[in-house]
Amino acid sequence: MSTRLIIPANFSYDDPLPFTCNQDSHVMLSILEYLVQATYLSVSAVLNSMIVYTIFRCKGKHSYRRNPFFVLYAAEAVMNVYSCVIEVLFGRLIIYMTPLCPALSPFFFTPSILTKLYFLLNHYCLAFKTLSQIAISFNRMTCVIFPVHHFKLWQNILAPVLVSLFVLPLGVTWNILVSRVYVNPNGAGFSVNYRDAVAWANISFLHLFHCIPCLFLMIVFFLASIFGLTMLENRLRSAERSLIIFTMTLGVETMLFAIAQIYFAFLAGYLPGIRPLMLLISFNVFDVLYVYSPIALILMNRQLRRDIFHLKGDDPGFLSASSHNQPAARVMAPVMH
């Protein structure tokens, strides 16, 4: 029989919220599900770590750090590594390792700094990824629209953009800081949830506040990028086309996440029947991107692939729209193959 956590109408911040774990009739299946998710999340963490290491290790002619696209991707990759590691070690562990539920859950019936940090940083990373899609999409647009001035433009704006990426997600998480974070039954395990202290500033609404401008701007940047591609030389167009497709595919994640947040913020009470589907989308949409983004970037970028795995081969060249007409600044181009 399923157990629900019933939250009293009035309770203080420190009141315990106990519950009894549900019985799991398919323990081995739950453990297998955890192992599958832990495997692909671990692969994502390893690949993203290798990409970040390569970006900051290579110097001179092959310096990825001089290319703003790779710097922006590295910032997002760091967030991906954290998200994957914490999910493997805590988030998915408490959901799917059901024999742990009776032993671990009592430690979190009262407020815990661990669950508070986990929940807060989880939503911080989600907001960061949403905003980083704007920055990466804008970077690709300027690369094809302003190929001559792209490098100089990003020399001036890269630092402020990075600062904004790390500061603006706080606009999503501030309500969590003052709210009660608790654990509740999830299947035969348990997961982390919260009760907002400021009712109008629920987490779905705040995520949506970021997602809507993000979607609008990404559509504008995508259309402008497509137009810019038609203006490039064929040699440069083929390289930039692949990277723009890669960037727009990442943007699909933001669109699906926004749809889920629209539902939870405004429609959950009117359309309860599709709640399982929305939970599935919200829960798994980032998993797909965690795995897709590092694998796709490594497969599509020949030079990055060679540098990561120390493969031998001829220098594929480094010219692209981002370094076109910039002979003094040999910025390594995202040559995609």
The one-digit pLDDT tens for each residue of the chain (337 residues) are: 455 666 766 777 788 888 888 888 888 999 999 999 999 999 999 999 999 999 988 765 567 888 899 999 999 999 999 999 999 999 999 999 989 999 999 999 999 999 999 999 999 998 998 888 889 889 988 888 887 888 899 999 999 999 999 999 999 999 999 999 999 888 888 999 998 888 888 888 888 887 788 778 878 888 887 777 776 655 455 556 666 677 777 777 777 777 777 787 777 778 888 877 887 777 777 788 788 888 888 888 888 888 898 887 645 444 343 444 443 333 444 444 4
- Give the pair of three-digit tokens for residue 267: 């429609």
Q: Which candidate, 213, 266, 242, places its Cα nearest to that of 316? A: 242
Q: What pTM, to 2 d.p., does this model score?
A: 0.83
Residue ranges in the chain assigned as alpha helix (H): 27-57, 68-86, 92-96, 101-104, 113-145, 150-167, 170-177, 203-231, 234-262, 275-300, 302-309
d(CA 304, CA 58) in angstroms, rounded, equals 10
Sign of CA dihedral 210, 216, 219, 222: negative
Report CA-CA distances (Å) from 240 to 4, 33, 73, 219, 229.
51, 38, 16, 17, 8
d(CA 324, CA 193) in angstroms, rounded, equals 50
- Give the pair of three-digit tokens for residue 3: 């157990």
Q: What pLDDT does 173 receive?
A: 92
Domain 27-309 has CATH 1.20.1070.10: yes
**CB–CB of 74/171 below 8 Å?**
no
